[in-house]
Structure 1
């Protein structure tokens, strides 16, 4: 696997995990008991912490990519592992 492929696949993992991590732990102003600004959406987060989200996303994506890369290197699960699922009827 080339280094450009590694970067591209890691970035895909990072973006996917960012969408998983974003809603975790976020509370609205109503849930936190904070005053709302006039015109503010009711669903706007009251405790948005981008550094914490970036750190969690980076850690989770690194772990998932490490599992992917080890599987790619050792071939634990490959295309042939799914032959029983996709055999056409005879």
Structure 2
């Protein structure tokens, strides 16, 4: 158990792995989890995928294929049952 606990305390840089993702990716986060997942880390993750790097253009044609959703008033415990999460997932899958 100590070995498992020590692994969880080590920082790991996932940047290269995230950059290598080629599939369209939807990131959904709860906004009330800032103590465990800080907002700046969410944005960094999205940017590593190529999101948020430029304006989408008037017609949206320059938009990144990746999507980011931040669900207000949710925690990682409640997010799965919220209609907003389902709606974001459906819209992403239908795009």
Q: What interval of TM-score do these two structures reach, taking the shorter chain for normalisation?
A: under 0.3
- Answer with 1 or 2: which has the greater Rg: 1
For normalisation by structure 2, the TM-score amounts to 0.24
Give 1 or 2: higher helix fraction: 1
Give 1 or 2: higher strand fraction: 2
For normalisation by structure 1, the TM-score amounts to 0.25
